[in-house]
Amino acid sequence: MNTFDDRETAFEAKFAHDEEMTFKAEARANKLLGLWAAEKMGISGDEAEAYAKTVIVADFEEAGDEDVIRKVTADFEGKVTSDEIRAKRKECLIAAKGQLAEDPDA
């Protein structure tokens, strides 16, 4: 291989790694959001974990996080605004990225 091929392979590997980390951070942020929402709704234990999984799955409906925001907003039945949920999700994403920075395999 020549230098160009080596660089191309390295860029492809970095791109794949970055995409994987983005996916993990988004999924973890959705789980954290789900656990936060469950706590606010008075759900705990295994039921909270199960609810968090439904939030994660909701993210597969469409690109972006609006599907998650809609789901959680609907589950709160008007008690929490979508803007509050968006703000909390941003906090969750920052926390998720921090957790992955500490332990990328977790």
Would you state the structure tokens that stand for residue 106, as one six-digit string?
């977790």
User: Is the distance from CB of 25 to CB of 96 less than 8 angstroms?
Assistant: yes
| C-alpha 38: how far from chain center | 16
Nearest Cα residue to 55 out of 39, 84, 77, 32 = 32
Report DSSP state, residue 41: T
Over the stretch 61-74, which tens digit does the pLDDT of each residue have? 888 889 999 999 99
Question: Residue ranges of the domains in the chain?
Answer: 3-102
Q: What is the total residue count of the chain?
A: 106
In this predicted model, what pLDDT tens digit does every residue of 8-60 receive, in sequence order? 888 888 888 888 898 999 999 999 999 999 999 999 999 999 999 999 999 98
CATH number at 3-102: 1.10.790.20
Dist CA 68 CA 55 (whole Å)? 6
Cβ distance 69 to 59 under 8 Å? no
Instruction: Report the predicted TM-score, pTM, of the whole model to 2 decimal places.
Output: 0.85
| Long-range CB contacts for residues 64-72, cutoff 8 Å, separation at least 24 | 65/26, 65/30, 65/89, 68/30, 68/33, 72/33, 72/34, 72/37
